[in-house]
Structure 1
Amino acid sequence: MDSLKQRIYSYAGFAETLAALSEARHGVLVKNVPGALPVLVASYLFEKSRRPLLLVAETLEDAEEFADDLTILLGENVTSLFRGCRTTTAS
């Protein structure tokens, strides 16, 4: 798995994007990114910084998929899933 991750991380377009994201100091908002790309970006940023990383998903199903994928890439000892509470907007 590690050699596959390194090949993906070193792909020119991906590497440029990761370099720009790595320089962010106060957080990064990434929206509308397809497929497994958010998980690959998150795993890279975590491995590079070794700092806590918060990934927020729109649905519980998305959050569970992200957590499962990150567990595969990073290991169980560094991933956690925090289930939020459902909120409603006032009318």
Structure 2
Amino acid sequence: MKLVIVFMLAIIPVYCRTNSSGCNALDDAIAKTINSSVSMEEYHETVQKYTFLPYIRRTMEKFKECFAKQSNETQHNVFVMEFAIYNSDKCSGY
């Protein structure tokens, strides 16, 4: 599962670069994925336009559940990593 997390987070700069209008939506989706206090219903409202296929929806649910089981420290570290990625030379300016 850690490998899946790494791949999903590694795509952030690529998504940011290829879809400049999507970064705010991506930030919101990541924040709600990581935040264990966000209900699954609220999460579905956030990601519904990206999860139109059943298998994508199930995968996103599992991804959300994975983060819900993590410690607060791990969740915070993901936010730190996201911040570092967005402020890297590779992503800034897109």
TM-score by length of 1: 0.35
Q: Which has the higher helix share?
A: 2
Relative contact order: is structure 1 or structure 2 higher (C-alpha 8 Å, sep ≥ 6)? 2
TM-score by length of 2: 0.34
